[in-house]
Structure 1
Amino acid sequence: MDSVKVGIVGCGTVGSGVVKILLQNRDIIEERIGKKIELSMVADRDVEKVKKLGVPEKFIVNDGFKVVESEVDIVVELIGGTTVAKDIVKSALENGKHVVSANKALFASYGEELFSAAFENGVSIRFEASVGGGIPVIKALNEGLVANRIEKILGIINGTANFILTEMTTRGISFEEALKIAGEKGYAEADPSLDVDGIDAAHKIAILASIAYGGWVTINDVYVKGIRDITPLDIDFAHEFGYRIKLLAVAKPDNGKVEVRVHPAMLPEDHILSSVDGVFNACLIEGDFVGPTLYYGMGAGQRPTASAVVADIADIACGRGSSVPVSLLKRGAKIPVKRPGEFVSSFYIRFTAVDKPGVLAKISSILGKYNISIKMALQKSIALNGGVPVVMTTHEASFKTVKVAIAEIDKLDVIVKPTFLCMIEE
């Protein structure tokens, strides 16, 4: 039986999981793929931690570049970030090593450069674990849906944000209270910015859009808005209008461009993604022939993410190439991406206004001036920061136009707080 030597750089949460799988499930992996996967080297600054996993001391080093310079066939990068990790990956490729990684930020920022290096050196990069943990969404795009033009991707692809919104929805608590619970349960980092501000999901949707539409999309191409401004009141109003609020990642082609965005969105309560709760992830991918397909599961954590990493190792061992279309490897093209001003959507708008007659008429007049059609409107006598909420949903309108109209409305003397705006994804 052929043997494939693997070296791991970084033995934190995910790296430890990969070591456990390669040591514990070696027999079943070999039986399924017909190859021996040899764990030949593990690099981590904490050598004692690696020893406790059962790795022989002779296979442990404290410098990731020693793995790159060794005789391994596959370098598994699991240190994260875009500095040292990039140097490790680039060096591995230039040394003729295949690479497996779970590093979404790296590929969303430097995918074109790294895959060009892989192509030039005749090696592969696979990164299934970078999006959706153990959910094989990248493989689905590359393999299962290869016969389809991808018409839309809708994803709930950040478990922390989804957990927070689920807690706010089911318990009626504030963002701050829900974030505290997420931290206590280990779902939120000490600095949760990457998750709650939408950056983590933006990295992931940039990767999926690149694969789906055959041109490089970077994090800088993605419109991003997080969930910090959502209040229990917005969640209650959403329910009254028949929606649930989710942090949604969207990618879809439109008139020769691709729209790529991450933001809180109102989904109809009967939409299949509305039922995705807690730390679970789901990705709805629609192809022109296959129609809508759904991929659901644990989007993070040691076990599901390590499972995806080992699946990538197995794919390379079996001779399967990189996790991007051949067109990207050869052409390295950028694709035109829509700017936020070009977005068209329905909207939920919450104004905070003084409680007196004529307010709704003033707001409606300005919206009408910009040809923004109101679908539903509610005004309630609920004290809110010195005013009362006036909420509306609109028919489809230009994002740019709606922003201009809101800027004008916020200058009215009856508005006491900046207006909250949320897209509706029907």
Structure 2
Amino acid sequence: MKIHFIAIGGSAMHNLALALVNKGYQITGSDDAIFEPSRSRLENHGILPEKMGWFPEKITSDLDAVILGMHAHEDNTELIKAQELGIKIYSYPEFLYEQSKNKTRVVIAGSHGKTTITSMILHVLNYHHKEVDYMVGAQLEGFDNMVKLTHDNEFIILEGDEYLSSPIDRRSKFLLYQPNIALISGIAWDHINVFPTFDSYKQQFTDFVNSISPGGALIYNQEDQEVVEVVEKSENYLKKFPYHTPEYTIRDEQVFLQTHEGEVRLSVFGRHNILNLEGARLICNQLGVWDEEFYEAIISFKGASRRLEKIYENQNYLVYKDFAHAPSKVSATVKAVKENYSNKKLVACLELHTYSSLNPEFLLQYKNSLDAADQALVFYSEEALKIKRMQPIPTEFIRESFGRPDLMVFTESASLQNYLCEMDKSNAVFLMMSSGNYGGMNLDQIFN
């Protein structure tokens, strides 16, 4: 097949393009900007666009399909040309369904934890040499690509995102997959730019449960009341498997899981990760991997990229970096680090980077999310606000929203960097949380 990608440079899009090259497809693409590592990876596979920009002449009648990324707009000239020629236009999730409609589809959904759970499942399957197709939202150790598509594998494991499918398809991505087996890890309001109320956001998960193939299996977090409500009110005929946090202990900053197979030492920590692990175990059971095999494999799981990732350690202090930005993720991550390093001073530094986190109305959702930290810092870029056409946020309002009068607020990366460089780091653990880069701040200069 001959397929063209509009906005090929995105993290998800370029990984799908590489997967299709590996499958033998003829791939072309366009974008107005492509950054590393996407750029090098596309170049190594011979599909990096020669010039940046949109070129309608690339859209020809011999194309079998066009895949449209979220980075493009409805008035994109290549999209308009494809529409004029009547070429089939897929969103990213729509195309993944097309590639997997004859497979058993396993979809991991939830406002938080879905990347980690998907990563745990893939780690266990890879450990036991069980071949599956997959799509996951982070680079994993032992995996060359974030997407794998084959003709022959029976199962496909899909991380299910509730965000929009494409500029011309306003459905949540996970509604297109029609899973046979599904998991919901939690529901906490996010993406307020497209779901302006919590009810409109929660409705996506109700629709997701109803999209599961009748007779399929649903694994769900019974500790999350919103999840329980969604599952209980669904009339879809499903096999339901609730899960909760298993017993564990912490000794010398190491986590030990208590199981019927005995005590299992883990390489990850945090109550939320132990809960994620339990969900992954039940999914693996559905795939024919039993508990003894699961625990044997999960011992060596060290986490997904940018998910509570240790980036520096010396005899005086440690530094973790985490992708957390939504309130529920921030709260869970801060509590996890404090629980594991109870004898160290925890310095938590959060960047407000997304549209939601920079919205004054939504900021109130962060109440008490940094309470477990001994010292809390918040950074946002005034330049980012200008780009998003949003008004500056008063420092005092941010402090009130988080419920911490002692919260330190920075709006210039240089000021934050100087503060972190000069502060006493002895017996401390630093938790750097952001889906951005703190306005270009160099963490290596601070912590090396």
Please, what TM-score do these two structures have when normalized by structure 1? 0.28
Higher relative contact order (CA 8 A, sep 6+): 1
Larger Rg: 1
Structure number having the greater helix percentage = 1
